[in-house]
C-alpha cells in the first residue's frame, strides 16, 4: 500500500482520539489563535492580508486581523499571520510547527463549505499526519535545508482540509499526492518574512489540493515515496517506523509550547540561564557565558550579531544576554532593533560563547556562567514531562499577556466550545475581530 493511501485511510476513517489527544488539540488551537491574533500587526501579516483582500471574497473565510477572502487565500494569510511572531507550538518529532499549517486550512474549509466533518477530528488527523510525515522525512530532510513546517505541514493541512470536506479514502489519497508536487519550504528563509509565509503556503496548499481532489483531479499514486517522489527528491530519510501505530497511538501530544517569543531552539538555554539569573547572578559581574547545544541548531538560531528584532529571535548570544540582564524574553516588544543596539546588551552578548555537543539532545542545553570568579552551571530539557494542567495555565497566562485578560478568557471559551452547533462560528467571529475590545465584547 502506498503512503498516501495509508494516510488517507487514517484521515478519512473513524477517529478514536483519546482524552490526552483531544486535550492537546484544544490547547494548540487556543495557543494558535492567541498568537495569531497577537501577530495581526506584523508586516508579513499586513502584506498577506492586503494581497488576499484584493480578490473575490464571495463565501469567504475570516482573516486574522479582519476581512474575508477565498478559502485558499484565507489559509495562506492565517498561516503566515499565526507564525509571524514565531511564538507557536513546536513538535520535535515533526521537526517543525504543525498547528500554523494545519489549523488555518481546516478553519478556512469549515467556514466556506457549509456542512463539514467534526472539526476536532479534522484537526486531530491533520496534526497527526503532519507529525507522521515529518518523522518519515526525518532529520536528513531538515538538515538538507528544508523547513518541515512548510513541507510535512502541507500534508497535514491537506488531511485536515480533506477531512473537513468528507473526502473518501481514494480522493483523500489523490489530494495528498497532489500536495507532494507543491509542498515546499526552505530554512534559508529563517530571519525573513519567508519563514512565516512557509506556514501560510503550506495551509494554502492543503486547501487547494483537497478542493482539487474533490473536483476529480488525480495524481501519481506513489507521489510521496516513489522513485521521483517527494521523499527521494527532498532528501527524506524514509523512516518507515514513523507510521507505526497510526490510528491507535497519537504522537502529536508530545508537542512543545513556547513561553519565550523566539526560536524554540533557544528555549532550553533560556530556561537554564533563568535558573542562574534567579539564583542571584548580577549581569554587571558576568565575565563569560558558555552555551552548549547540539550542533544542528547552529544553522537555525545562531545569528551572532543581530541588528533587527526579527534576527534577535534567532540569536543564542543576544537572547542569552537579554535573559541575564533581566530583559523579558516572553514579551514581544523585547525583540526590537533598539534592543539589538543597546550597548550593555552588546557588551554582554560578546562575552557569550556557543559550543556544540553531539551528546546533547535537540531539546537540551547546558550553560556555564562565570561571574566574579565563581562558576554557575545549569542544564534544561524542554521536553521534560509537564502536567497538562500546568501547560494550560501557562498558555492562558501567555494569551493574557498577548491579548489582555478579558480577551484571552473570551477566546478560551470560544475554543473550548468548537464542538457545539455554533462553536466554529463563534470562534471565527473572534478571530476576525480587529481589536481586543471587540473580542471581549463578543465574549
Average pLDDT of the residues of the chain: 93
Question: How far is CA 90 from each of CA 161, 265, 328, 341, 371, rounded to the nearest angstrom?
Answer: 21, 10, 21, 29, 33
Between 422 and 387, name the one with better pLDDT: 387
Are 160 and 122 within 8 A, CB to CB?
yes
pLDDT number for residue 300: 83
Helix 119-143 with 3-12: angle, nearest 10 deg: 150
Are the C-beta atoms of residues 340 and 308 closer than 8 Å to each other? Answer: yes
Residue 438: pLDDT over 50: no
C-alpha distances (whole Å) from 173 to each of 1, 72, 83, 148 are: 11, 19, 28, 20
**Residue count of the chain:** 443
440 versus 358: the higher-pLDDT residue is 358
Q: In the chain, pLDDT over 70 holds for what percent of residues?
A: 96
- CA 91 to mean position of chain CA atoms: 8
Give the pLDDT confidence of 159-192 residue by residue, as tens digits. Answer: 999 999 999 999 999 999 999 999 999 999 987 9
Q: Among candidates 208, 28, 11, 119, which has minimal Cα distance to 424? A: 119
Q: What is the DSSP letter of 91?
A: B
Average pLDDT over residues 235-254: 96
| Percent of the chain residues past pLDDT 90, beyond the cut | 83
The predicted model gives 388-406 an average pLDDT of 93
Give the three-class secondary structure for 42.
coil
What pLDDT, on a 0 to 100 scale, did the predictor assign at position 435? 42
pLDDT interval class at 373 (50, 70, 90): very high
Query: What is the reported pLDDT for 145?
Result: 96
pLDDT at 420: 81
pLDDT at 113: 87
Q: Return all residues near 118 (Cβ < 8 A) that are at least 6 apart.
A: 15, 419
Tens of pLDDT, residue by residue over 255-280, are 999 999 888 889 999 999 999 999 99
The strand pairing partners of 381, in sequence order, are: 364
Q: Please give the pLDDT value at position 55.
A: 60
Region 407-412 average pLDDT = 96
What is the mean predicted confidence (pLDDT) over 230-248? 97
pTM: 0.87
For residues 188 and 60, is the Cβ–Cβ distance under 8 A?
Answer: no
The residue behind cell 500554523 is 100
Residue 48: the pLDDT is: 93
Residue 440 has pLDDT above 90, yes or no: no
Q: Are 164 and 173 in contact (CB under 8 A)?
A: no
- From the list 220, 207, 107, the residue with the least C-alpha distance to 167 is 207
Question: Whole-angstrom Cα distance, residue 164 to residue 358?
Answer: 42
29-43, 52-66, 224-238, 301-315, range with the lowest pLDDT:
52-66
Q: What angle do CA 102, 106, 108 make, to 5 degrees?
A: 120
Residue 441 scores a pLDDT above 60 = no
Distance from C-alpha of 439 to C-alpha of 366, rounded to nearest angstrom: 41
Write down the pLDDT at residue 422: 81
Coil, helix or strand at residue 48: helix
Written as one string, the DSSP assignment of 367-430 is EEEEETTEEEEEEEETTS---HHHHHHHHHHHHHHHH-HHHHHHHHHHHHTTTSTTHHHHHHHH
Q: Model confidence over 123-141: pLDDT tens digits?
A: 999 999 999 999 999 999 9
List of long-range contacts for 1-4, beta carbons under 8 Å, 24+ apart: 2/173, 2/221, 2/222, 2/224, 2/225, 3/136, 3/222, 3/224, 3/225, 3/243, 4/173, 4/174, 4/176, 4/177, 4/180, 4/221, 4/222, 4/223, 4/224
pLDDT of 115 reads 67
Lowest-pLDDT choice from 86-100, 107-121, 238-252, 406-420? 107-121
- Whether 304 contacts 297, CB under 8 Å: no
Q: How confident is the model at residue 436 (pLDDT cuts 50, 70, 90)?
A: very low
**286-293/364-371 β-pairing:** antiparallel
Q: Are 424 and 354 in contact (CB under 8 A)?
A: no
Q: What angle do helix axes 19-38 and 405-416 make, rounded to 10 degrees? A: 140
51-77 tens-digit pLDDT: 898 665 656 899 999 999 999 999 999
Amino acid at each position: 500500500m502506498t503512503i498516501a493511501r495509508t494516510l488517507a485511510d487514517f484521515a478519512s476513517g473513524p477517529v478514536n482520539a483519546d482524552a490526552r489527544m483531544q486535550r492537546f488539540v484544544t490547547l494548540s488551537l487556543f495557543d494558535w489563535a492567541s498568537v495569531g491574533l497577537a501577530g495581526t500587526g506584523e508586516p508579513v501579516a499586513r502584506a498577506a492580508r492586503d494581497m488576499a483582500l484584493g480578490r473575490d471574497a464571495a463565501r469567504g473565510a475570516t482573516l486574522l486581523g479582519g476581512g474575508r477572502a477565498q478559502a485558499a487565500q484565507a489559509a495562506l494569510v492565517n498561516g503566515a499571520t499565526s507564525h509571524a511572531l514565531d511564538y507557536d507550538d513546536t513538535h520535535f518529532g515533526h521537526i517543525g510547527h504543525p498547528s500554523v499549517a494545519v489549523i488555518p486550512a481546516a478553519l478556512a474549509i469549515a467556514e466556506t463549505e457549509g456542512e463539514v466533518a467534526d472539526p476536532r477530528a479534522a484537526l486531530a488527523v491533520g496534526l497527526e499526519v503532519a507529525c507522521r510525515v515529518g518523522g518519515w522525512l526525518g532529520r536528513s530532510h531538515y538538515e538538507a535545508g528544508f523547513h518541515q513546517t512548510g513541507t510535512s505541514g502541507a500534508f497535514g493541512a491537506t488531511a485536515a482540509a480533506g477531512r473537513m470536506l468528507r473526502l473518501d479514502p481514494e480522493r483523500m489519497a489523490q489530494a495528498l499526492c497532489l500536495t507532494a508536487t507543491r509542498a515546499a519550504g526552505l530554512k534559508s528563509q529563517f530571519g525573513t518574512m519567508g519563514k512565516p509565509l512557509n506556514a501560510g503556503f503550506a495551509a494554502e496548499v492543503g486547501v487547494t489540493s483537497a478542493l482539487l481532489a474533490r473536483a476529480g483531479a488525480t495524481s501519481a499514486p506513489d507521489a510521496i515515496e516513489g522513485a521521483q517522489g517527494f521523499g527521494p527528491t527532498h532528501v527524506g530519510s524514509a523512516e518507515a517506523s514513523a507510521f507505526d501505530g497510526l490510528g491507535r497511538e497519537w504522537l502529536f501530544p508530545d508537542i512543545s509550547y513556547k513561553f519565550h517569543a523566539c526560536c524554540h531552539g533557544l528555549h532550553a538555554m533560556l530556561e537554564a540561564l533563568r535558573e542562574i539569573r534567579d539564583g542571584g547572578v548580577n549581569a554587571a559581574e558576568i565575565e563569560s557565558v558558555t552555551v552548549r547545544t547540539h550542533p544542528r541548531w547552529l544553522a537555525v538560531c545562531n545569528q551572532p550579531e543581530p541588528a533587527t528584532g526579527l534576527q534577535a529571535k534567532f540569536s543564542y548570544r543576544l537572547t542569552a544576554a537579554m535573559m541575564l540582564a533581566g530583559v523579558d524574553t516572553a514579551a514581544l516588544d523585547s525583540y526590537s532593533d533598539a534592543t539589538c543596539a543597546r550597548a550593555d546588551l552588546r557588551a554582554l552578548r560578546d562575552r557569550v560563547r556557543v559550543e556544540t555537543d553531539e551528546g546533547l539532545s535537540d531539546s537540551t542545553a547546558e550553560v556555564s556562567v562565570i561571574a566574579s570568579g565563581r562558576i554557575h552551571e545549569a542544564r534544561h530539557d524542554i521536553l521534560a514531562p509537564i502536567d497538562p494542567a500546568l501547560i494550560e495555565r501557562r498558555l492562558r497566562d501567555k494569551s493574557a499577556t498577548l491579548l489582555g485578560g478579558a480577551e484571552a478568557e473570551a477566546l478560551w471559551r470560544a475554543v473550548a466550545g468548537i464542538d457545539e452547533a455554533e462553536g466554529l462560528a463563534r470562534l471565527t467571529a473572534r478571530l476576525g475581530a480587529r481589536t481586543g475590545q471587540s473580542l471581549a465584547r463578543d465574549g
